[in-house]
A and B are shown apart, each in its own frame.
Chain A
């Protein structure tokens, strides 16, 4: 039985943002349930029961070789068919940070161009490489949501002023691809989020911070929206207008938008 109000949070050795991801789902009204990759590999049909999926951040398998590389290889090998099936039955999926790095290497992003997912995972066409500074950085950055994006997590979500910020914390987040691929992604509305001008600290091509697949359901991004679901998580909350405390923060609004989509609701934007 698929339960649209239950979210699967996939964990593995070194995944360490599962807690905040679960809390974000919960704050958006969905019950999170963690499951280890090893258990899912034994029985991939567990995935069929969930209405939403999260692939959290962290340092899966130490990020040895490269960020997300080993976990992506394992997902290609064991979970790809079940995850593909989930996307085909319109399950929204979020992959922040390490999850994004994994998703682009596991053939989950940017996904197919003609609506049909291949039987075997596709080879990566985009990459998240070493930051321009060649080191890990933790900083909040201003984000922009491109007007034409098809992403169910960001489309129409307000993103302005001090409330347009999200925390980034990564060493390998520089988006790299070919100009052709980037143009194609932009034209199909698959660029779901960008760093605002002057906030592209990792040197990403096209200032791309997040991508979605063609359906808009699968969303990968380097920032951590799950770490901005309470006003006191904002780095300057003590100096922001009190009125801002009464509205849901940007990160939470993104989860709420996807939950509405999972429920089949049209959301008032």
Chain B
């Protein structure tokens, strides 16, 4: 333990033998076994026809300790470390027999898989006894009322993932742990220069490089010109650097965009970088010409608060004169498909590191998470997929365990259900950071030491970057188990504490720049930092988790919790002292800057690889890609329909509860309460509101305790409109802005992020859909004056089943946003506040119900067109609502999104425990009551206004030319009344909760 050390014990005097000891901990007699009971409940809740549900499950913790320990030391550990004297009992070197009729299964991590608890235990044993040991942890479950085979089945389904766990029948007590063998240097060249195209293609797939033929050819000709073959480590580096994940080659490519036969020709509509050619448009660098162009045009047009956009690990904006805030959202889809718990935990862990690794270090202050999964009610899944119920439960656990341990409040998120996520779920993780404005930028200096700090390097996560760029199939779990990573939040928390201490050091910031080790590991971190000046890297110096890592493995491993710092050599002793205090390992890997600006890789002094940084970063070919806008193809991405006869019949009374109980609208409280949203003490507007925990629109924190200024965060996701990604993209931007404005955010100080998750863009029709969405990003950002500051894309989200069917996800564009709240003491929430207040709607309602939730339940009311965001009215409505909130006229505000006005009103009512009398006929624009109730037209807000303020508020809206109307009144009788129907709040709240419970 580096934190607290004991003197090494004199071991010779004891009768200790070096072997594996087993300590088993169980609840003491008379104590309840909460974990066992919970497992039994999960078995009962998830049982399908024919399953034998255990009558009882008992849980024990198992510790396997390899080392020289005598009986007295083992007793000390059992009683002072492993078992609580009040509630638990420990057994040393034996296993208590299972109860009569019960069978034992044990779940242990596979050798080489990260075991964070074991690392903590090793440290604690060293601190207490001064003895170095190897520890593995496991869990024992005794199932009563099951056969051994059935118990194993439950373990496979609920308790273990065979990608990372071994399941043992009976107590597991090995004689020794497997050991790594020291690595013997062997430099492997890969003959690439003589290959033909077919062989290049085959090599790209079989070596898991996932490069296109053009890219393989470029590498071939580069090495032909050098007159040698690439070494394995060089080829791997190029594959990581050129992966879609790292370089966003599709979004940065030139795209030839045209319309499918029978469609009107596509137009550029004056967007930059769009050149009209015969039969279509050529877009030079799609990202630069749309998402980034909007930001740069806005910055040229007066927005002066963007401090760092698109360049660093996150986007940075000004918070006030002294402070800046940054935001990053990432996806971790493919790892989460195979191992949801580890996948989501390392997803949020990596995103947090992006924040730490921004500029010269930011402090993570809030997290978000958004999940897209298949229908949890489905009874079977294709071979090679995990059940969506398990995926959702475990991705929530992963975010919970990592985020809570890091001490970062998880404040915002959503879940979207669509069956086409069955083989390829989406896991978006976001993090917001705070930093002094002086640290917004860092600059690597030639001669600086390359310092790695944090976790040790192992074989985990190898090929993660290329894996994320591949397409999933039924065999991916076997093929890519090495890409799965398990995180250790405490290692990252220590690294964070050490980095902030080094940044704020009495001698000044101890480092020149830093970045995180994410996809591609050291290869990508050092490659990026040394991009223009080169680097000399001694790979044998990297601290490893076990012996036997090759230089290539050390270089590309994506082992978690590591960051790379560029440190002036004079500061190394001070940095070492900081790291020692925090118990963080530090390693001097080499030096930035080489005479020829190459990256030289060495192993014990021998060169094992050399990379031309110019070729690495600029050598990637940029072929022109073909994109076709095909509306018929896109229409296939419309959400599926599950007919509810009462909804289809237009029965208003039945439709409201049906909508509230539908998965996409129902309560997410079971998820939200598992996250600590209070830690750091900064929350002002939390995710749930009022005594009944209604759903909030955006969350607000007070990042600088001394200042009342707030920071709001929210998201927009409009996947229901995937049949036309242009309207989907605009609706997502509008929703994100609406959510932020509803709590009191200044709409002129909102920055947004784009995260595209798309089916394969090798299909020109999917790329055409991506162009449409990119156009929405440009048009929307310009109209709302909300600059994009960062983004990420994941463009190969589909799953091929064992019978060859490909399931493509619907195009999914997440817009995340954060913005300033001038005075957080004046924030507004969505729960109704009092009786006799007016309910006012802002914005017009159209009959376009395409893609709406009510259509998903079989309704055909309204017309089937998709709702279109009005780029004049949308921003105007946002400004008008913000004006009313700023003037203090608004008691509660809620955005109208999924489910429309009536669902929004019902949520406000039960959250505040007050009734509403709603007049659907006065909703402007819609006509028919059913359509007025459930149409999901964007840009609409419901506001609660005190009668004494009503005239002033209505006058302000009229003066600004905003469509609005008084549509209701709040009442004391705890009922919602609309269109001749009436519901009790308890029934509505119960319906809303029923859709979100029991998972």
The docked-state distance in angstroms from the alpha carbon of A125 to that of B87 is: 9
* B401-417, CB < 8 A from A: 404-407
B538 within 8 A of A: no
> B4 is contacted by which of A38, A129, A138 (Cβ under 8 Å)?
A38
Q: Of the 9-residue stretches A1-9, A12-20, A255-263, which lies at the interface with chain B?
A: A12-20
**SS class, residues of chain A in contact with chain B:** mixed
Task: Find out whether the CB atom of B80 lies under 8 angstroms from the CB atom of A23.
Answer: no
Of chain B, the residue at the smallest CB distance from A139 is B673
Interface code B821-848, partner A: CB below 8 Å = 1, 0 otherwise?
0001101110101000000000000000
The docked-state distance in angstroms from the alpha carbon of A65 to that of B705 is: 34
Residues in chain B near residue A236, CB distance under 8 A: 689-691, 831
* B438-477, CB < 8 A from A: none
Interface code A40-84, partner B: CB below 8 Å = 1, 0 otherwise?
010000000000000001110111111001100110111000000
Contacts A134-B37, A136-B400, A233-B683 hold; do A70 and B690 have CB atoms under 8 A apart? Answer: no
The docked-state distance in angstroms from the alpha carbon of A224 to that of B680 is: 11
Residues in chain A near residue B35, CB distance under 8 A: 130, 134
Question: Smallest CB–CB gap between B914 and chain A, Å?
Answer: 10
Task: Find out whether the CB atom of B493 lies under 8 angstroms from the CB atom of A137.
Answer: no
A131 within 8 A of B: yes
Question: Smallest CB–CB gap between B711 and chain A, Å?
Answer: 13
Interface code B5-44, partner A: CB below 8 Å = 1, 0 otherwise?
1100000000000000000000000010011011000000
Of chain B, the residue at the smallest CB distance from A251 is B681
Residues in chain A near residue B81, CB distance under 8 A: 65, 69-70, 73
The docked-state distance in angstroms from the alpha carbon of A183 to that of B678 is: 33
Question: Smallest CB–CB gap between A165 and chain B, Å?
Answer: 11
Task: Find out whether the CB atom of A13 lies under 8 angstroms from the CB atom of B3.
Answer: yes
B232 within 8 A of A: no
Task: Find out whether the CB atom of B827 lies under 8 angstroms from the CB atom of A232.
Answer: yes
Task: Find out whether the CB atom of B490 lies under 8 angstroms from the CB atom of A74.
Answer: no
Task: Find out whether the CB atom of B676 lies under 8 angstroms from the CB atom of A138.
Answer: yes
A214 within 8 A of B: no
Task: Find out whether the CB atom of A65 lies under 8 angstroms from the CB atom of B85.
Answer: no
A267 within 8 A of B: no
Task: Find out whether the CB atom of A59 lies under 8 angstroms from the CB atom of B679.
Answer: no
Contacts A14-B490, A16-B406, A239-B690 hold; do A136 and B681 have CB atoms under 8 A apart? Answer: no
Contacts A13-B493, A61-B490, A70-B81 hold; do A124 and B86 have CB atoms under 8 A apart? Answer: yes
The docked-state distance in angstroms from the alpha carbon of A229 to that of B702 is: 13
B353 within 8 A of A: no
Task: Find out whether the CB atom of B31 lies under 8 angstroms from the CB atom of A176.
Answer: yes
Question: Smallest CB–CB gap between B75 and chain A, Å?
Answer: 14
* B98-145, CB < 8 A from A: 116-117, 120-121, 123-124, 127-128
Task: Find out whether the CB atom of B828 lies under 8 angstroms from the CB atom of A238.
Answer: yes
Task: Find out whether the CB atom of A65 lies under 8 angstroms from the CB atom of B82.
Answer: yes
Of chain B, the residue at the smallest CB distance from A236 is B690
The docked-state distance in angstroms from the alpha carbon of A37 to that of B777 is: 49
Task: Find out whether the CB atom of B679 lies under 8 angstroms from the CB atom of A169.
Answer: yes
Contacts A59-B405, A62-B116, A176-B87 hold; do A226 and B681 have CB atoms under 8 A apart? Answer: yes
Task: Find out whether the CB atom of B827 lies under 8 angstroms from the CB atom of A136.
Answer: no
Task: Find out whether the CB atom of B681 lies under 8 angstroms from the CB atom of A19.
Answer: yes
B489 within 8 A of A: yes
The docked-state distance in angstroms from the alpha carbon of A235 to that of B120 is: 35
Task: Find out whether the CB atom of B828 lies under 8 angstroms from the CB atom of A16.
Answer: no
Task: Find out whether the CB atom of B681 lies under 8 angstroms from the CB atom of A123.
Answer: no
Of chain B, the residue at the smallest CB distance from A12 is B3
A253 within 8 A of B: no
Of chain B, the residue at the smallest CB distance from A59 is B405
Question: Smallest CB–CB gap between B28 and chain A, Å?
Answer: 10
Residues in chain A near residue B34, CB distance under 8 A: 129-132, 134, 174
Residues in chain B near residue A138, CB distance under 8 A: 672-678
Task: Find out whether the CB atom of A227 lies under 8 angstroms from the CB atom of B678.
Answer: yes
Question: Smallest CB–CB gap between B674 and chain A, Å?
Answer: 5
Question: Smallest CB–CB gap between A143 and chain B, Å?
Answer: 15
Residues in chain B near residue A126, CB distance under 8 A: 86
The docked-state distance in angstroms from the alpha carbon of A238 to that of B82 is: 45
Task: Find out whether the CB atom of A20 lies under 8 angstroms from the CB atom of B680.
Answer: yes
> A232 is contacted by which of B490, B825, B833, B892 (Cβ under 8 Å)?
B825
Interface code B687-713, partner A: CB below 8 Å = 1, 0 otherwise?
011110000000000100100000000
B581 within 8 A of A: yes
Of chain A, the residue at the smallest CB distance from B681 is A20
> A62 is contacted by which of B82, B120, B686 (Cβ under 8 Å)?
B120
Contacts A126-B86, A139-B673 hold; do A59 and B490 have CB atoms under 8 A apart? Answer: yes
The docked-state distance in angstroms from the alpha carbon of A105 to that of B83 is: 11
Residues in chain B near residue A177, CB distance under 8 A: 86
Contacts A176-B31, A232-B827 hold; do A76 and B80 have CB atoms under 8 A apart? Answer: yes
Task: Find out whether the CB atom of A129 lies under 8 angstroms from the CB atom of B124.
Answer: no
Contacts A139-B673, A167-B678, A226-B681 hold; do A37 and B3 have CB atoms under 8 A apart? Answer: yes
Residues in chain A near residue B494, CB distance under 8 A: 13
The docked-state distance in angstroms from the alpha carbon of A220 to that of B444 is: 47
B583 within 8 A of A: yes
Residues in chain A near residue B515, CB distance under 8 A: none
Residues in chain A near residue B683, CB distance under 8 A: 233
Task: Find out whether the CB atom of B678 lies under 8 angstroms from the CB atom of A38.
Answer: no
Task: Find out whether the CB atom of A239 lies under 8 angstroms from the CB atom of B831.
Answer: yes
The docked-state distance in angstroms from the alpha carbon of A41 to that of B6 is: 10
Residues in chain A near residue B4, CB distance under 8 A: 37-38, 41, 74, 77-78
Residues in chain B near residue A229, CB distance under 8 A: 681
Interface code A131-150, partner B: CB below 8 Å = 1, 0 otherwise?
11111111100000000000
> B124 is contacted by which of A70, A78, A131, A169 (Cβ under 8 Å)?
A70
Question: Smallest CB–CB gap between B13 and chain A, Å?
Answer: 21
Residues in chain A near residue B690, CB distance under 8 A: 236, 239
A85 within 8 A of B: no
A158 within 8 A of B: no
Most buried by B among A66, A77, A126, A238: A238
Task: Find out whether the CB atom of B84 lies under 8 angstroms from the CB atom of A105.
Answer: yes
Task: Find out whether the CB atom of A58 lies under 8 angstroms from the CB atom of B38.
Answer: no
The docked-state distance in angstroms from the alpha carbon of A24 to that of B678 is: 14
Residues in chain B near residue A135, CB distance under 8 A: 38, 674
Question: Smallest CB–CB gap between A111 and chain B, Å?
Answer: 15
Task: Find out whether the CB atom of A14 lies under 8 angstroms from the CB atom of B85.
Answer: no
Residues in chain B near residue A125, CB distance under 8 A: 85-86
Of chain B, the residue at the smallest CB distance from A24 is B681
Task: Find out whether the CB atom of A64 lies under 8 angstroms from the CB atom of B674.
Answer: no
Of chain B, the residue at the smallest CB distance from A169 is B676
> B84 is contacted by which of A59, A76, A124 (Cβ under 8 Å)?
A124
Contacts A14-B493, A138-B673 hold; do A239 and B38 have CB atoms under 8 A apart? Answer: no
Interface code A236-257, partner B: CB below 8 Å = 1, 0 otherwise?
1011000000000000000000
Task: Find out whether the CB atom of B37 lies under 8 angstroms from the CB atom of A73.
Answer: no
The docked-state distance in angstroms from the alpha carbon of A167 to that of B497 is: 25
Of chain A, the residue at the smallest CB distance from B39 is A134
A127 within 8 A of B: yes
A226-B681, A238-B829 known; 16 new pairs, CB 8 Å cut-off, are: A11-B497, A13-B490, A14-B490, A16-B405, A20-B680, A38-B2, A38-B581, A38-B582, A38-B583, A59-B404, A59-B490, A64-B117, A64-B120, A76-B80, A138-B675, A176-B87
Residues of chain B whose beta carbon lies under 8 Å from any beta carbon of chain A: 2-6, 31, 34-35, 37-38, 61, 80-82, 84-87, 116-117, 120-121, 123-124, 127-128, 400, 404-407, 488-490, 493-494, 497, 581-583, 672-681, 683-686, 688-691, 702, 705, 824-825, 827-829, 831, 833, 892, 912
In the complex, 29 of the A-B residue pairs with CB atoms within 8 angstroms, ordered by the A residue number, are A13-B493, A36-B581, A59-B405, A59-B490, A61-B123, A61-B490, A62-B490, A64-B116, A65-B82, A69-B84, A70-B81, A70-B123, A73-B81, A74-B3, A74-B4, A74-B127, A77-B4, A105-B84, A125-B86, A126-B86, A134-B35, A135-B674, A138-B674, A139-B673, A176-B87, A229-B681, A232-B825, A236-B690, A238-B829
Residues of chain A whose beta carbon lies under 8 Å from any beta carbon of chain B: 11-14, 16-17, 19-20, 23-24, 36-39, 41, 57-59, 61-66, 69-70, 73-74, 76-78, 105, 123-127, 129-139, 167, 169, 174, 176-177, 224, 226-227, 229, 231-233, 235-236, 238-239
